[in-house]
Protein backbone atom coordinates (compact mmCIF):
# COMPACT_ATOMS: atom_id res chain seq x y z
CA UNK A 1 0.00 0.00 0.00
CA UNK A 2 1.34 3.41 -1.01
CA UNK A 3 0.21 6.62 0.71
CA UNK A 4 0.35 10.12 -0.72
CA UNK A 5 -1.35 12.56 1.62
CA UNK A 6 -4.90 11.36 2.03
CA UNK A 7 -4.64 9.13 -1.07
CA UNK A 8 -3.85 5.42 -0.82
CA UNK A 9 -2.93 3.09 -3.67
CA UNK A 10 -2.45 -0.67 -3.63
CA UNK A 11 -0.89 -0.76 -7.09
CA UNK A 12 -3.93 -2.18 -8.88
CA UNK A 13 -6.34 -0.68 -11.38
CA UNK A 14 -9.79 0.17 -10.11
CA UNK A 15 -12.45 -2.41 -10.97
CA UNK A 16 -13.72 -1.88 -14.49
CA UNK A 17 -16.45 -4.50 -14.37
CA UNK A 18 -19.17 -3.68 -11.86
CA UNK A 19 -21.33 -6.62 -12.95
CA UNK A 20 -20.51 -10.27 -13.54
CA UNK A 21 -16.81 -10.90 -14.26
CA UNK A 22 -16.23 -11.99 -17.86
CA UNK A 23 -12.56 -12.96 -17.64
CA UNK A 24 -9.63 -13.60 -15.32
CA UNK A 25 -8.59 -10.01 -16.03
CA UNK A 26 -11.86 -8.79 -14.50
CA UNK A 27 -11.22 -10.92 -11.43
CA UNK A 28 -7.64 -9.62 -11.21
CA UNK A 29 -8.86 -6.03 -11.38
CA UNK A 30 -11.28 -6.80 -8.55
CA UNK A 31 -8.49 -8.01 -6.29
CA UNK A 32 -8.43 -11.79 -6.78
CA UNK A 33 -4.93 -13.20 -6.28
CA UNK A 34 -5.37 -16.94 -5.63
CA UNK A 35 -4.71 -19.20 -8.61
CA UNK A 36 -7.56 -21.58 -9.37
CA UNK A 37 -10.82 -22.32 -11.15
CA UNK A 38 -13.34 -19.49 -11.43
CA UNK A 39 -16.82 -19.02 -12.89
CA UNK A 40 -17.26 -16.15 -15.33
CA UNK A 41 -20.02 -14.76 -17.54
CA UNK A 42 -19.98 -16.09 -21.11
CA UNK A 43 -22.14 -14.95 -24.02
CA UNK A 44 -25.13 -17.02 -22.82
CA UNK A 45 -23.88 -19.56 -20.28
CA UNK A 46 -21.71 -19.56 -17.19
CA UNK A 47 -18.17 -20.63 -18.13
CA UNK A 48 -15.33 -22.11 -16.10
CA UNK A 49 -11.75 -20.82 -16.47
CA UNK A 50 -8.44 -21.36 -14.74
CA UNK A 51 -6.70 -18.14 -13.69
CA UNK A 52 -2.94 -18.01 -13.10
CA UNK A 53 -2.51 -14.81 -11.11
CA UNK A 54 1.25 -15.34 -10.91
CA UNK A 55 1.21 -13.89 -14.43
CA UNK A 56 0.02 -10.59 -15.82
CA UNK A 57 -3.11 -10.41 -18.01
CA UNK A 58 -0.91 -9.76 -21.04
CA UNK A 59 1.12 -12.95 -20.54
CA UNK A 60 0.33 -16.32 -22.18
CA UNK A 61 -1.76 -18.77 -20.15
CA UNK A 62 -2.93 -16.10 -17.73
CA UNK A 63 -6.41 -17.49 -18.48
CA UNK A 64 -7.19 -21.06 -19.57
CA UNK A 65 -10.71 -21.82 -20.72
CA UNK A 66 -12.07 -25.07 -19.22
CA UNK A 67 -15.67 -25.34 -20.41
CA UNK A 68 -19.31 -24.58 -19.68
CA UNK A 69 -21.06 -24.97 -16.34
CA UNK A 70 -24.44 -26.71 -16.23
CA UNK A 71 -26.28 -23.91 -14.44
CA UNK A 72 -30.06 -23.53 -14.52
CA UNK A 73 -31.99 -20.79 -12.76
CA UNK A 74 -34.75 -23.35 -12.18
CA UNK A 75 -35.16 -27.01 -13.26
CA UNK A 76 -37.83 -27.73 -15.87
CA UNK A 77 -39.03 -31.23 -16.73
CA UNK A 78 -42.37 -32.96 -17.17
CA UNK A 79 -44.05 -36.23 -18.09
CA UNK A 80 -47.78 -36.55 -18.71
CA UNK A 81 -50.01 -39.40 -19.73
CA UNK A 82 -53.27 -39.84 -21.61
CA UNK A 83 -56.27 -41.72 -20.23
CA UNK A 84 -59.23 -40.71 -22.36
CA UNK A 85 -61.08 -41.67 -25.50
CA UNK A 86 -60.46 -40.61 -29.07
CA UNK A 87 -60.27 -36.86 -29.78
CA UNK A 88 -60.94 -34.88 -32.99
CA UNK A 89 -58.26 -34.86 -35.67
CA UNK A 90 -55.94 -31.85 -35.97
CA UNK A 91 -56.66 -30.79 -32.42
CA UNK A 92 -54.14 -30.30 -29.62
CA UNK A 93 -53.87 -33.43 -27.49
CA UNK A 94 -54.81 -32.81 -23.85
CA UNK A 95 -53.61 -35.12 -21.08
CA UNK A 96 -55.29 -36.41 -17.96
CA UNK A 97 -52.46 -37.71 -15.77
CA UNK A 98 -49.58 -35.56 -14.56
CA UNK A 99 -46.71 -37.81 -13.54
CA UNK A 100 -44.15 -35.04 -13.22
CA UNK A 101 -44.27 -31.29 -13.78
CA UNK A 102 -41.30 -29.54 -12.18
CA UNK A 103 -41.45 -25.87 -13.07
CA UNK A 104 -45.21 -26.04 -13.84
CA UNK A 105 -44.64 -25.26 -17.53
CA UNK A 106 -46.91 -28.04 -18.81
CA UNK A 107 -50.68 -27.47 -18.76
CA UNK A 108 -52.24 -30.92 -19.06
CA UNK A 109 -55.75 -29.55 -19.62
CA UNK A 110 -54.75 -27.67 -22.77
CA UNK A 111 -51.86 -30.00 -23.65
CA UNK A 112 -49.56 -26.99 -24.14
CA UNK A 113 -46.03 -26.65 -22.77
CA UNK A 114 -45.06 -22.98 -22.43
CA UNK A 115 -41.30 -22.41 -22.44
CA UNK A 116 -40.37 -20.66 -19.17
CA UNK A 117 -36.73 -19.95 -20.02
CA UNK A 118 -34.83 -19.66 -23.30
CA UNK A 119 -32.48 -22.52 -24.10
CA UNK A 120 -32.24 -26.04 -25.52
CA UNK A 121 -35.03 -28.50 -24.71
CA UNK A 122 -35.55 -32.21 -25.35
CA UNK A 123 -39.03 -33.63 -26.02
CA UNK A 124 -40.25 -37.18 -26.42
CA UNK A 125 -43.65 -38.54 -27.39
CA UNK A 126 -44.55 -42.21 -27.57
CA UNK A 127 -47.56 -44.52 -27.44
CA UNK A 128 -49.54 -47.39 -28.92
CA UNK A 129 -51.94 -47.23 -31.86
CA UNK A 130 -55.54 -48.22 -31.24
CA UNK A 131 -56.28 -51.70 -32.59
CA UNK A 132 -59.30 -50.50 -34.55
CA UNK A 133 -57.38 -47.70 -36.28
CA UNK A 134 -55.59 -48.30 -39.56
CA UNK A 135 -52.73 -46.06 -38.50
CA UNK A 136 -51.96 -43.16 -36.23
CA UNK A 137 -50.13 -39.95 -37.09
CA UNK A 138 -49.15 -37.39 -34.46
CA UNK A 139 -47.39 -34.08 -35.05
CA UNK A 140 -45.35 -31.88 -32.74
CA UNK A 141 -46.08 -28.17 -33.05
CA UNK A 142 -44.14 -25.04 -32.17
CA UNK A 143 -46.43 -22.03 -31.71
CA UNK A 144 -49.11 -23.87 -33.67
CA UNK A 145 -46.87 -24.79 -36.63
CA UNK A 146 -45.99 -28.43 -37.28
CA UNK A 147 -42.25 -29.10 -36.92
CA UNK A 148 -42.13 -32.91 -36.62
CA UNK A 149 -44.34 -35.95 -37.13
CA UNK A 150 -44.45 -39.61 -36.16
CA UNK A 151 -46.72 -42.44 -37.25
CA UNK A 152 -47.48 -46.07 -36.46
CA UNK A 153 -47.66 -48.88 -38.98
CA UNK A 154 -50.99 -49.45 -40.72
CA UNK A 155 -53.07 -52.51 -39.99
CA UNK A 156 -55.64 -53.90 -37.60
CA UNK A 157 -53.33 -54.58 -34.67
CA UNK A 158 -51.55 -52.69 -31.95
CA UNK A 159 -48.31 -50.97 -32.97
CA UNK A 160 -46.11 -48.29 -31.46
CA UNK A 161 -45.11 -44.78 -32.48
CA UNK A 162 -42.48 -42.44 -31.03
CA UNK A 163 -40.86 -39.07 -31.64
CA UNK A 164 -37.81 -37.43 -30.09
CA UNK A 165 -36.41 -33.99 -30.84
CA UNK A 166 -34.11 -31.32 -29.41
CA UNK A 167 -35.12 -27.69 -29.97
CA UNK A 168 -33.63 -24.25 -29.42
CA UNK A 169 -36.51 -22.28 -27.89
CA UNK A 170 -37.24 -18.80 -26.64
CA UNK A 171 -39.17 -17.91 -23.51
CA UNK A 172 -42.97 -17.99 -24.06
CA UNK A 173 -42.72 -20.36 -27.06
CA UNK A 174 -45.40 -23.05 -26.96
CA UNK A 175 -44.98 -26.75 -27.71
CA UNK A 176 -47.94 -29.08 -28.23
CA UNK A 177 -48.83 -32.37 -29.89
CA UNK A 178 -51.68 -32.92 -32.32
CA UNK A 179 -53.51 -36.00 -33.59
CA UNK A 180 -53.24 -35.80 -37.37
CA UNK A 181 -55.10 -38.98 -38.28
CA UNK A 182 -56.57 -42.22 -36.86
CA UNK A 183 -56.91 -42.68 -33.09
CA UNK A 184 -54.96 -42.84 -29.86
CA UNK A 185 -55.19 -45.92 -27.70
CA UNK A 186 -56.73 -45.35 -24.28
CA UNK A 187 -54.98 -48.25 -22.56
CA UNK A 188 -53.66 -51.72 -23.26
CA UNK A 189 -53.99 -54.46 -20.63
CA UNK A 190 -54.42 -51.76 -17.94
CA UNK A 191 -51.14 -50.08 -18.95
CA UNK A 192 -51.65 -46.46 -20.02
CA UNK A 193 -49.87 -46.08 -23.30
CA UNK A 194 -49.68 -42.49 -24.52
CA UNK A 195 -46.92 -40.35 -22.98
CA UNK A 196 -45.46 -36.90 -23.58
CA UNK A 197 -42.37 -35.63 -21.78
CA UNK A 198 -39.60 -33.07 -21.97
CA UNK A 199 -36.94 -31.22 -20.05
CA UNK A 200 -34.58 -28.28 -20.15
CA UNK A 201 -31.11 -29.35 -21.28
CA UNK A 202 -29.27 -26.03 -21.33
CA UNK A 203 -30.49 -22.59 -20.32
CA UNK A 204 -29.44 -19.26 -21.77
CA UNK A 205 -28.51 -17.66 -18.45
CA UNK A 206 -27.33 -14.39 -20.00
CA UNK A 207 -28.93 -12.36 -22.76
CA UNK A 208 -26.85 -11.02 -25.64
User: pLDDT tens digits for 71-97?
Assistant: 999 999 999 998 876 667 778 999 999
Q: Between 73 and 153, whose confidence is greater? A: 73
Which of 2.60.40.1080, 2.60.120.40, 2.30.42.10, 2.40.37.10 is the CATH number of 77-203? Answer: 2.60.120.40
For the segment 55-79, the average pLDDT, to the nearest whole number, is 94
Cβ contact 177:111 at 8 Å? yes
For the segment 36-61, the average pLDDT, to the nearest whole number, is 95
Mean pLDDT, the chain, integer: 86
pLDDT at 16 exceeding the cut of 70: no
DSSP for 64-104, written as a single string: EEEEE----SS--EEEEE--S----TTEEPP-SEEEEEETS
| Strand-pair partners of 36 | 51
CA 51 to the chain's CA centroid: 30
Q: Between 127 and 191, whose confidence is greater? A: 127
Cα(61)–Cα(50) distance, rounded to whole angstroms? 9
Cα(35)–Cα(129) distance, rounded to whole angstroms? 60
Share of the chain above pLDDT 70, in %: 79
For the segment 32-56, the average pLDDT, to the nearest whole number, is 95
Confidence of residue 182 (pLDDT cuts 50, 70, 90): low
Lowest pLDDT segment from 28-37, 132-141, 194-203: 132-141
Quote the pLDDT of residue 190.
Answer: 42
- Sign of the alpha-carbon dihedral angle for 161, 166, 171, 173: negative
pTM of the model: 0.80
pLDDT at 189 exceeding the cut of 60: no
CA 134 to the chain's CA centroid: 36
DSSP state for residue 118 in the 8-state scheme: S
DSSP for 43-63, written as a single string: SSSEEEEEE-TTS-TTSTTSE
> Each residue of 89-136: pLDDT tens digit?
778 999 999 999 999 999 999 999 999 999 999 999 998 876 666 667
Residue boundaries of the structural domains of the chain: 2-68, 77-203
Strand pairing class (191-192; 106-107): unpaired
| Length, in residues, of the chain | 208
Cα(178)–Cα(156) distance, rounded to whole angstroms? 22
The total of other beta-carbon atoms located within 10 Å of residue 61's CB is: 8
Amino acid sequence: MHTLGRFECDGRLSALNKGFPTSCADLWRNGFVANGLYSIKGSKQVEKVYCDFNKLPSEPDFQTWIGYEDVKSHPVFFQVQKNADVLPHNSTIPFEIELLNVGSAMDITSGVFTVPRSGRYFFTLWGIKDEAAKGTEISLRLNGVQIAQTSSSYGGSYSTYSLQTTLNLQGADQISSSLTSAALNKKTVSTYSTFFGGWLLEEDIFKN
